[in-house]
Amino acid sequence: MDYHVHTAFCGHAGGMLEDYVRAALEKGLSEIGFCDHFPLLHMRDPSLTMAPEELPRYVEGVLRLREETGDIKILLGIEVDFFPSQMDEVAGLLEAYPFDYLTGAVHFLDGWGFDDPRYLEEYRWKDISLVWERYFQLAMEALKSGLFDVFAHPDLVKKFGFFPPDPPIDLYREFCEVARDSGVVMEVSTAGLRKPVGEIYPSEDFLVMLNRFQVPVTLGSDAHHPSEVGHAFDQALVLLRRAGYREIVAFEGRDRRSIPIPS
């Protein structure tokens, strides 16, 4: 299954809902989970997320497609940016819809869209160790918020290939403890392979540690074009097995079940 695909609703992805379903069928996937960006509440940027008034149309679109399509399971998810001060309002807005899972993500560090190529310059005058610390702080807060079923691309902060001088083992360990206690499922995302860092989120040493802490995982491509659906899942499955994983999590109506990873 691919639990993280976007659509044209977010303004920076190509393809309509049905194009992604067609691509998933062609790839032989058994499930596809739409996970487009939840509207930003503090700013309007049509090139980043749908507007609040588009949310009902997104939900209806996915549910209608589920009605019409028999050969593949279609799930309704959404990728929600974690902003500590907005989460009560966000929770209220999400309540109205029958999501199969809610995916949390950190794309902003105190207002800086650190994974947005438009703001790449900022890295030049940042202390990378502090950037990593702040990212993981917010990520852990997101896990503790109790709002999310899944946490997307857990080490997104590596996207442009800026790593702290020493391997951030202590940050990983602290995060893994919080992840285990929160019960949130970690997303293994092949999107990193298509970015400057050129590797899967999370890194292998991080994924090994997550497994040691018995943190469950799910799988996503973060496709922003139908051709990216299920991208490099063969590599992701090899990595998962190497890290010690034997099963991944599937969702339905926010309930989970485990699916064995094929060997």
Binding site for Zn ion (CB under 5 A): 79, 105, 152, 222
Quote the tokens at residue 16.
Answer: 């309509």
Angle of the 17-27 helix axis to the 55-68 helix axis, nearest 10: 40
Strand partners, 256: 251
What is the C-alpha separation between 255 and 37, in angstroms, rounded?
Answer: 21
d(Cα 41, Cα 98) in Å, to the nearest integer? 21
Smallest gap from residue 260 Cβ to Zn ion (A): 26
**What is the number of H-type helices and E-type strands within the chain?**
7, 9
Residue among 8, 67, 16, 34 at smallest CA distance from 222: 34
d(C-alpha 67, C-alpha 69), whole Å: 6
The residue (of 173 and 194) whose beta carbon lies closer to Zn ion is 194
Query: Which CB atom, from 105 or from 176, has the smaller least distance to Zn ion?
Result: 105
Minimum distance from residue 105 beta carbon to Zn ion (Å):
4
Nearer to Zn ion, 79 or 100 (CB): 79
Nearer Cβ to Zn ion, position 82 or 132? 82
Instruction: Find the shortest distance in angstroms from Cβ 253 to Zn ion.
Output: 22
Report the residue number, 105 or 140, with the smaller CB distance to Zn ion: 105
Contact 238, 29 (CB under 8 A): no
CB of 73 to Zn ion, least distance (A): 20
Q: State the nearest-atom distance from the C-beta of 263 to Zn ion, in Å.
A: 29
